[in-house]
């Protein structure tokens, strides 16, 4: 796949129009208590990203290329979630070890269960990625932070800690998106909010603006002498609105509409929002044959 498969002047124009410049932040407590107090969000997102992708190469295939594992590495996964990525990497670490760290006990327990009984030794740590005090200097050959860095409160401390625990010659893989990734979803979402005359502070798009694939390299260069950016693209295509609606509603509560609890927004509000978004998606499917969600994603590989 080349960039030109999905990137079009129309999408560029749409990104300018749809994605607000200002990002917003979640509190660590919100991540832990609200979004990852069970595996529901992860399960739905992982299913949709895989079942509806048009790029023949999956996210984990890209990571396997990035990590160039020999099988003997000690690997640390920050924000390991339910162990979805680790399950795929495990057979490539037969003589190595896995350490999974996550702030949310519910998803960490799911990861532990998922990898239970595998021959590779696994250690599970409940904690925040910006405090690795319980890990020794120079103890890992690979450190990963996949689709989680936007939750971490103290990014500078996190990167300094990763540098400290990473052995010389090791690789830190940080995987994240550009802020204009999946902008067709934001477009239908914002159009529905607009039609409902919703409060302006709900038009806030993504928390990834604080640190994204487009703006993250200079910060990483303070801690790592080599920072390479590897990008890949994908396009989810939905011919039925149902799976898209599951994806949309689970994502931080309707595309971040109510990422923090908000007494102004009741079930009636969300029912109308869902109805309006669904009608736009159905219309696009009727006219074009599918509803597309274009992804601009990738990894920083730091040494
Ligand atoms: C979108 S999930 C990504 C999970 C996994 N890396 C993957 O790619 O499938 C984000 C994960 O980061 C975790 N998380 C959020 N804040 C964190 C923090 N400060 N330190 C460690 N993990 C955190 C969440 O609990 C969640 O499991």
Confidence (pLDDT) at 20: 82
21-36 confidence digits (pLDDT tens): 788 888 888 888 889 9
- Pocket of ligand 1, candidates 148, 211, 298: which has the most ligand atoms within 8 Å of its Cβ, to mutate? 148
pLDDT at 67 > cutoff 50: yes
Confidence (pLDDT) at 109: 98
242-260 confidence digits (pLDDT tens): 999 999 999 777 887 777 7
Confidence (pLDDT) at 5: 63
Any atom of ligand 1 within 6 Å of the Cβ of 86: no
The mean per-residue pLDDT over the stretch 180-204 comes to: 92
Tokens found for residue 253:
């509560």
Q: Cα–Cα distance between 217 and 156 in angstroms, integer? A: 13
Confidence (pLDDT) at 11: 83
Q: What's the gap in Å between 4 CA and the centre of ligand 1?
A: 31
pLDDT at 1 > cutoff 70: no
Task: Count Cα atoms within 13 angstroms, Cβ side, for 291.
Answer: 26
- Pocket of ligand 1, candidates 31, 44, 114: which has the most ligand atoms within 8 Å of its Cβ, to mutate? 31
Ligand 1 atom closest to Cα of 26?
16
pLDDT at 3 > cutoff 70: no
Q: Cα–Cα distance between 48 and 43 in angstroms, integer? A: 9
Q: Would you give the distance in Å from CA 33 to the centre of its chain?
A: 18
The answer to whether the CB of 293 falls within 8 A of the CB of 235 is: yes
Which of 6-10, 58-62, 265-269 holds the top average pLDDT? 58-62
User: How is domain 3-302 classified at the CATH fold level?
Assistant: Rossmann fold (3.40.50)
Question: Which is nearest to 143 in space by CA: 172, 102, 123?
Answer: 172
Contacts (Cβ under 8 Å, ≥6 apart) of 126: 101, 102, 103, 105, 108
The phi, psi pair for 14, rounded to 5°, reads -65, -40
Confidence (pLDDT) at 34: 86
Q: What's the gap in Å between 28 CA and the centre of ligand 1?
A: 10
The mean per-residue pLDDT over the stretch 224-239 comes to: 97
- Output the average pLDDT for the chain: 93
90-149 confidence digits (pLDDT tens): 999 999 999 999 999 999 999 999 999 999 999 999 999 999 999 999 999 999 999 999
Any atom of ligand 1 within 6 Å of the Cβ of 238: no
The mean per-residue pLDDT over the stretch 37-42 comes to: 94
Ligand 1 atom closest to Cα of 175?
8
Q: Cα–Cα distance between 84 and 139 in angstroms, integer? A: 23
Any atom of ligand 1 within 6 Å of the Cβ of 250: no
Ligand 1 atom closest to Cα of 46?
9
The mean per-residue pLDDT over the stretch 58-66 comes to: 96
First-to-last C-alpha distance (Å) of the chain: 27
146-156 confidence digits (pLDDT tens): 999 999 999 99
Domain extents in the chain: 3-302
The residue nearest atom 11 of ligand 1, judged by CA position, is: 79
Question: Which is nearest to 188 in space by CA: 264, 254, 242, 258?
Answer: 254
Spell out the SS3 assignment of 210-274: HCCCCCCHHHHHCCCCCEEEEEEEEEEEECCHHHHHHHHHHCCCCCCCCCCCCCCCCHHHHHHHH
User: Whose structure tokens read 């971040």?
Assistant: 256
Q: Cα–Cα distance between 280 and 293 in angstroms, integer? A: 13
The answer to whether the CB of 123 falls within 8 A of the CB of 164 is: no
User: In the chain, helix, strand, coil percent, each to 5?
Assistant: 45, 20, 35
271-287 confidence digits (pLDDT tens): 999 999 999 999 999 99
Any atom of ligand 1 within 6 Å of the Cβ of 80: yes
Q: What's the gap in Å between 174 CA and the centre of ligand 1?
A: 12
């Amino acid at each position: 796949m080349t960039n030109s498969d999905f990137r079009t002047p129309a999408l560029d124009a749409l990104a300018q129009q749809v994605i607000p410049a200002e990002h917003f932040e979640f509190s660590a407590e919100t991540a832990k208590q609200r979004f990852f107090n069970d595996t529901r969000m992860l399960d739905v997102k992982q299913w949709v990203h895989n079942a509806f992708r048009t790029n023949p190469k999956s996210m984990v295939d890209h990571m396997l290329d990035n990590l160039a594992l020999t099988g003997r590495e000690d690997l640390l996964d920050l924000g390991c979630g339910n162990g979805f990525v680790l399950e795929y990497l495990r057979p490539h670490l037969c003589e190595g070890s896995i350490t999974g760290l996550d702030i949310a006990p519910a998803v960490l327990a799911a990861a532990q269960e998922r990898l239970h009984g595998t021959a590779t030794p696994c250690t599970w740590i409940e904690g925040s990625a910006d405090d690795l005090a319980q890990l020794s200097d120079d103890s890992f050959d690979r450190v990963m932070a996949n689709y989680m860095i936007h939750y971490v409160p103290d990014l500078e401390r996190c990167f300094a800690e990763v540098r400290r625990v990473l052995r010389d010659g090791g690789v830190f893989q940080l995987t994240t998106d550009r802020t204009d990734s999946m902008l067709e979803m934001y477009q239908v979402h914002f159009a529905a909010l607009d039609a409902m005359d919703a409060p302006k502070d709900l038009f806030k798009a993504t928390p990834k603006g604080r640190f994204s694939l487009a703006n993250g390299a200079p910060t990483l260069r303070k801690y790592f002498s080599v920072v390479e950016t590897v990008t890949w693209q994908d396009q989810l295509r939905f011919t039925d609105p149902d799976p898209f609606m599951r994806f949309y509603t689970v994502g931080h509560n309707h595309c971040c509409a109510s990422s923090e609890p908000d007494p102004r927004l009741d079930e009636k509000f969300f029912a109308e929002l869902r109805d309006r978004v669904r009608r736009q998606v159905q219309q696009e499917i009727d006219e074009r044959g599918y509803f597309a969600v274009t992804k601009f994603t990738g990894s920083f590989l730091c040494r």
